[in-house]
Every structure is written in C-alpha cells, then in structure tokens.
Amino acid sequence: MAIAETLEKLSNACGVVGREEEIRELMAKMLKPHVDEVKEDKLGNIIGIKNGKKNLPKLMLAAHMDEIGLMIKTISKEGFLQFTKMGGIDDRILLAQKVMVHTEKGPLHGIIGSKPPHIQKEEERKKIMTYDELFIDIGAETLEEAKKMGAKIGDPVGFDEKFARIGKDIVIGKALDDRVGCAIMVETMARLKKVGCSVYAVGTVQEEVGLRGATTSAFGIFPDVGIALDVTVAGDMPGVREFEAPVKMRKGPSLSVADAGLITHPKVLRLLVDTAEENKIPYQLETGLAGSTDAARISMAREGVPCGTISVPTRYIHNPTSMLSLKDVENTIKLTVAAVQRVPKQF
Ligand SMILES: [Zn+2]
C-alpha cells in the first residue's frame, strides 16, 4: 500500500511544534506534483493550490504538520538537560523515553533518565515524577561538553520512535497526530480529478500550542468552506467506557458534530454524511471531545467560514507512539476526495 510508505516518511520526519522545517520541506515535495502552485506563508504554513474557477467556492483543507515534544530549558553543571513541554503531554509517559535533541550541529540521542528500581525507596516507586523533576541524559560529562555537542537552551526535543507495520492493516509510529492527516491530504490532492473550485491544501504549523498556523493561513486564504483532517481518540481498549470515547479503530473515519472549539456547520456535516452514505463509506459520528482541531480557527476567520473535521480513529494519541488502521486511512481518503468533488454542487 503506497499510502503506508507516504505515512512512514511523514511519521519519521521531525517537526516539533514551532520547529517544522524538516516536515515542511517534505510536505512541499509531496504536494508539488499534484498542485498548480506551492507556497509558504510568513508563519511557515505550506500551501498547495489547485486553481479552479473564480466564481466557484474556495475550499481549504488543513492538516497540522507539527508534533508534540519538549524544549531544553536549562543545562546542569553536570551536563544534564532539563526541559519544558511543548503541547499536551502527560508527565507519566515521559520517564525512560528515548529522545532526539535537535541542535544546530545536528541531532543528539538522549534518554529521559530515571533511577533504576534497585535503588528506589518504596515511596519513590509509588510517586509520579513530574516533568520538572526529570532530565535528558545525552552522555555529556559537563555543561561545557553538552554545549560543545551542540545542546543549548531552546533546542526542540522529539521522541525517538520509528514507524512500523505490525499487522495486516495496523501501523504504529511517532506523530501520527497529525502526519496521518498530512498523508491523507497529499493523497487527496493526488486523486482529485477536475473539481472546478479552487482547493487549498494547507500543512499548518503550531497546532499543538493553540491552532496558530490555521489562524493565519485561513485569514490569508479566506475560504468558503474549511475541512480539517486530523486524528481522534479511539476508545476501543480496556479501561475506557463507551460514553467516554465511543469511536473505534477500523470502523471508518469519525465526523465530529461538536468539540470544544467547533460546532460543525450543518451544511458541512450534511456534505460529509451524504458523501459517506452515497459512496457506502463507513463513518462514525462523534461529539463532546475536550480537544479541538484547526477547523475551530478556520471557522472564525474574518466574518466566518463553514467548517468541519474528518478524523482518523487513533489509539494512544499524544504518546510517543500511536496506533491506527490503514483501512481507516483509505476510507478517510475516499471520503475526503468524494466530499471535495461535491463542494461545487452543495455550496
Ligand atoms: Zn492533531
């Protein structure tokens, strides 16, 4: 499956929030063959444009390129790196992770250090270590050596995880939130026939710290319709109640009716549901999620834009490694392509 290769490249690329250079370059390369023009805006969003007729509505697709990570805050005399978090990270997942510190001199391997169980006291074993008590060990002996290796305050840190296929249709990897949206957007642009209306495929920056790239790119483009391609919580695992997270992996893309930042515009929801029904694409409806997507900001550009979100059910979001089904990816591409083709008819 070609989409698995695209997703593998995107997942393995680095793009910690605010430092999206590598992933942006890759996205520009991937979009280029399928659009009339690729441009980068001032904040660093990458925009692939398929030009259409002027009198037809403009459509904006958005998938965020950035990933959650860490940032070096201080370096100790002994050469250990202390850090702050970039994006929503649960402290409990940090301990003992392998990370990459991205310095100007190149990447450095590191591990988030912890005391081995042999020397932990009973109380220590029960306690949750918060991020400010942890440190990254890059093997430096002193502050000077850490600096010489390239480490400095403000360097972005990503999780050191590689993409893998672990089942017939199941993949695991870093930053699937939202590299899977990026892969779906690239593939959608590749499969689109003549649409009539202009389509803007935007790889956004800084989503994980407050949907910032979507805010500026939507202002610049000012589309008539906006669709965010992202991930949502798949709750089909032990310990999660149906009510908390009813969306399941392998059951098709999820259409959000409302989340913390957006009530999907009725016309957009109609477009997505009708498209799925008519093309017999499985889908799930979802509401009440605490998070939000780029669509929330696109919808508030200038005097407002009807928006919706199509999400891939993903297990273990915001962990160093997440999991999803390529079947859901394929169905999300089918739905997105068919929905885009219908925009001139329904808007
Ligand atoms: Zn996301």
pLDDT (tens digit per residue) in 59-118: 999 999 999 999 999 999 999 999 999 999 999 899 899 999 999 999 999 999 877 777
The residues carrying an active-site annotation are 207
Tell the burial category of 231 from Cβ atoms under 10 Å away from its Cβ (0-12, 13-18, 19+). Answer: buried
- Dihedral sign computed on CA atoms, order 90, 91, 92, 94: positive
Query: Is the full-model pTM beyond 0.85?
Result: yes
Query: How many angstroms is it from 178 CA to the middle of ligand 1?
Result: 5
Instruction: For helices 176-191 and 21-31, give the axis angle rounded to 10 degrees.
Output: 20
What's the Cα-to-Cα distance from 342 to each of 36, 57, 169, 275, 298, rounded to whole Å?
A: 20, 11, 29, 8, 20
pLDDT per residue of the chain (347 residues) written in tens, 0 to 9:
599 999 999 999 999 999 999 999 999 999 999 999 999 999 999 999 999 998 899 999 999 999 999 999 999 999 999 999 999 999 989 989 999 999 999 999 999 987 777 777 888 788 888 899 899 999 999 999 999 999 999 999 999 999 999 989 999 999 999 999 999 999 999 999 888 899 999 999 999 899 999 999 999 999 999 999 999 999 999 989 988 889 999 999 999 999 999 999 999 999 999 999 999 999 999 998 888 999 999 999 999 999 999 999 999 998 999 999 999 999 999 999 999 999 998 88
Radius of gyration of the chain (CA): 21
d(CA 299, CA 307): 6
Q: Assign 3-state DSSP to the chain and report helix, strand, coil percentages, each to 5.
A: 30, 30, 40
Query: How many angstroms is it from 54 CA to the middle of ligand 1?
Result: 31
d(CA 199, CA 38): 12
Number of H helices, E strands in the chain: 9, 17
Query: How many angstroms is it from 153 CA to the middle of ligand 1?
Result: 26
Query: How many angstroms is it from 202 CA to the middle of ligand 1?
Result: 14
pLDDT of 1 reads 53
22, containing H or E segment: helix 21-31
* Tokens matching residue 330: 């394929």
d(CA 168, CA 76): 46
Query: How many angstroms is it from 304 CA to the middle of ligand 1?
Result: 22
Residue that is written with structure tokens 């919706």 in the block: 308
Query: How many angstroms is it from 334 CA to the middle of ligand 1?
Result: 20
Query: How many angstroms is it from 160 CA to the middle of ligand 1?
Result: 19
